[in-house]
Amino acid sequence: MWKYILNRLLISIPILLCVTFLVFVLLNVVPGDPVALMMKEKVSADVVARVRAQMHLDDPWIIRYFRFLWGLLHGDLGTSYKLQRSVTDFMGFSLAGVSMPVFWSALLFQYVFALKLGWLPVSGFYGWRYVIMPAIVLGWSSAGLIARLTRSSLLDVMRNDYIRTARSKGARELAVITGHALKNALLPVVTIMAIQVASLLSGAVITESVFGIPGVGRVAVDAIKSRDMPLLQGSVLFATILVILGNLVADILYSLLDPRIRLEK
C-alpha cells in the first residue's frame, strides 16, 4: 500500500504543475492591469511603470512562472498584490473558511439560529463559535446525498446470497449489517464522497460571502477581480491538493473495504 501511495503522490506532481501553468497562462491572457487595479486611482504612467518594474511584471511570463515555481519549492507562494501579505500565511487563515453552495440553507440557518434563537453569531470569523453554523450548512446537502446513496446501496447488498447465509447461521441482524453488508455497500459511497470534495470547493464562494468568512473560494474570486496572480495561484493550488488527497483517500478506502482490490496493481 505504501508503494501505491508514493506512486500516487509522485503522479500528483505533474498534475499540480499543469494546474498552476494553466492558471498562470489564463490570467495573463485576461485583460486587466494588476497595478492599475491595485492603486484604484489615476496616477502617472511613470508611477505605473515603476511599480510594474518593482513587482517584476514586465518580465516575460515564462520567467515569472518559473520564479513562482522556485518560490513554491521553498514554501513561498509570493506576496498578494492586493493584500500585501504573504499568500502562504493568508491561505493558512483561509482554512477556516468552510462553506457550501446552497445559499438558501445558509440564510435559513442565520435567520433561525442567529436572529431568532440567538444561539450563534450571524457572520464573521472571530472564534470557533463562528465556524459551527457554516460547518453544519456545509454538510447539509452532501449528507442528504450520501445518506440516500448509502441506503440504496445497502438495500441492494442485503439481497445477496451471503447475507441470507449469514442470517441462516444465526448471526444477529446488527452483526450481519456491520460485518457483511456495510463494507460492500460503502464502495459507491466512498466514490461519491471523493467527488463531493470538488463540489464543495466549487460552490464555496456564495456561502462564504453570506457568512462573511474569508474562505478559499471567496479569496480566489477576489484574486481574479484584482488580477492577483500569487493569491490566485495559492488558492487553486490548495483546492487542487484537496481534490488529489480526496481521491487518494478514496482509493485507500477501496482496498480496506474490499480485499480483492490491490493498490499495487
Domains within the chain, CATH numbers bracketed:
2-257 (1.10.3720)
pLDDT digits over 16-67, tens only? 888 888 877 777 776 666 666 666 556 666 766 777 777 777 778 788 888 8
DSSP structural state of residue 122: S
Tell me how far apart the alpha carbons of residues 90 and 54 are, in angstroms, rounded to a whole number: 22
Confidence of residue 224 (pLDDT cuts 50, 70, 90): confident
pLDDT of 98 > 70? The answer is no
- The residue whose grid cell reads 471523493 is 194
Residues in a beta bridge with 86: 79
**Residue 214 near residue 92 (C-beta atoms within 8 A):** no
Q: Residue 250's pLDDT is what?
A: 81
Confidence of residue 101 (pLDDT cuts 50, 70, 90): very low
Q: Residue 166's pLDDT is what?
A: 82
**Residue 98 near residue 138 (C-beta atoms within 8 A):** yes
Q: Between 191 and 44, whose confidence is greater?
A: 191
Q: Residue 264's pLDDT is what?
A: 54
Average pLDDT of span 109-129: 83
Residues in a beta bridge with 79: 86
Average pLDDT of span 116-124: 84
pLDDT digits over 73-88, tens only? 877 777 776 666 676 6
Q: Residue 156's pLDDT is what?
A: 82
Q: If you average pLDDT over every residue of the chain, what do you get? A: 75
Average pLDDT of span 241-262: 78
Q: Residue 10's pLDDT is what?
A: 82
Q: Residue 89's pLDDT is what?
A: 61
Q: Residue 93's pLDDT is what?
A: 46
Q: Is 188 left (phi over 0), alpha (psi -120 to 50) or beta?
A: alpha
Tell me how far apart the alpha carbons of residues 11 and 98 are, in angstroms, rounded to a whole number: 28
Tell me how far apart the alpha carbons of residues 226 and 228 are, in angstroms, rounded to a whole number: 5
Q: Residue 203's pLDDT is what?
A: 63
Average pLDDT of span 179-191: 80
Tell me how far apart the alpha carbons of residues 142 and 2 are, in angstroms, rounded to a whole number: 30
DSSP E strands, the chain: none
pLDDT of 216 > 80? The answer is no
> Hey, is 86 helix, strand or coil?
strand
Average pLDDT of span 152-161: 82
C-alpha cell recorded at residue 250: 478514496
